[in-house]
């Protein structure tokens, strides 16, 4: 596969935050008498506000915003177990050393996303797209379209790197190339991903003189 830049999801792609996410949402589910499985099967890859509106259809916007504030504070303050996923730091360092543009494009808000990014010790992102910057979250294409624009590339020149079905659909809808990392095997349109792999450690990237990046699986 070839591209000119990368757009990375954060949670589950660069950072292992699954224990924190699931702890926080289970606590929230308990507050509302909801099944843990029902909540956890819906939330991944989506903006929190989208999930809250789904599970609280009868609530006012003010009530939903109050729930959002509770959840955001809970997640931002729980950093136990946050680590960089295998291969993430090395890949970002390789991109920086080669002058290959990249961005983080997350469904998380600024307090949560920046806390997890910082705790994981990842390379600084020059472009960091969070939930506050787009009206429609994943699986809509808005976030990845904005990410491509901010790194100065057309969507079709970008490779979206995602672990969640909603994020992969967002990348496809934006017209980007897609690298699926640990995306569930039953995810819709997984067969349309350019590369499917289980770890970022398997990726090899080489920048050509014209700025084109060759992306391969290590042998």
Separation of alpha carbons 14 and 121, rounded Å: 11
Give the residues across from 11 on adjacent strands. 15
Residue listed under structure tokens 């002058």: 99
Evaluate whether 166 touches 106 at the Cβ level (below 8 Å).
Answer: no
Pairing status of strand 102-105 against strand 5-8: parallel
Report which of 165, 94, 171, 83 is spatially closest to residue 129, judged by C-alpha positions. 171
| 3-class SS of residue 217 | strand
Active site residue 11: yes
Catalytic member of 11, 16, 78, 142: 11
Cis peptide bond upstream of 169, omega within 30: no
Separation of alpha carbons 217 and 219, rounded Å: 6
Q: Is the dihedral of CA 10, 211, 219, 89 positive or negative?
A: negative
Q: How far is CA 61 from its chain centroid?
A: 25
- Cite the active site residues: 9, 11
């Amino acid at each position: 596969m070839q591209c000119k830049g990368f757009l990375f999801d954060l949670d589950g792609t660069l950072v292992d935050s699954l224990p924190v996410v699931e702890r926080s949402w289970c606590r929230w589910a308990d507050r509302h008498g909801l099944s843990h499985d029902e909540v956890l099967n819906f939330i991944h890859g989506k903006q929190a506000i989208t999930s809250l509106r789904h599970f609280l259809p009868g609530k006012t916007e003010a009530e939903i915003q109050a729930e959002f504030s509770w959840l955001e504070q809970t997640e931002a303050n729980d950093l136990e177990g946050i680590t960089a996923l295998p291969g993430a730091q090395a890949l970002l360092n390789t991109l920086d050393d080669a002058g290959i543009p990249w961005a983080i494009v997350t469904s998380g808000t600024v307090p949560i996303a920046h806390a997890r990014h910082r705790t994981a010790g990842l390379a600084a992102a020059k472009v960091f797209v969070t939930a506050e910057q787009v009206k429609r979250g994943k699986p809509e294409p808005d976030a990845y379209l904005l990410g491509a624009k901010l790194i100065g590339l057309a969507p079709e020149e970008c490779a979206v790197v995602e672990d969640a079905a909603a994020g992969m659909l967002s990348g496809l809808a934006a017209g980007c190339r897609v690298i699926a990392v640990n995306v569930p095997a039953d995810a819709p349109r997984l067969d349309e991903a350019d590369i499917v792999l289980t770890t970022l450690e398997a990726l090899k990237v080489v920048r050509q003189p014209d700025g084109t990046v060759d992306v391969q699986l290590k042998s």
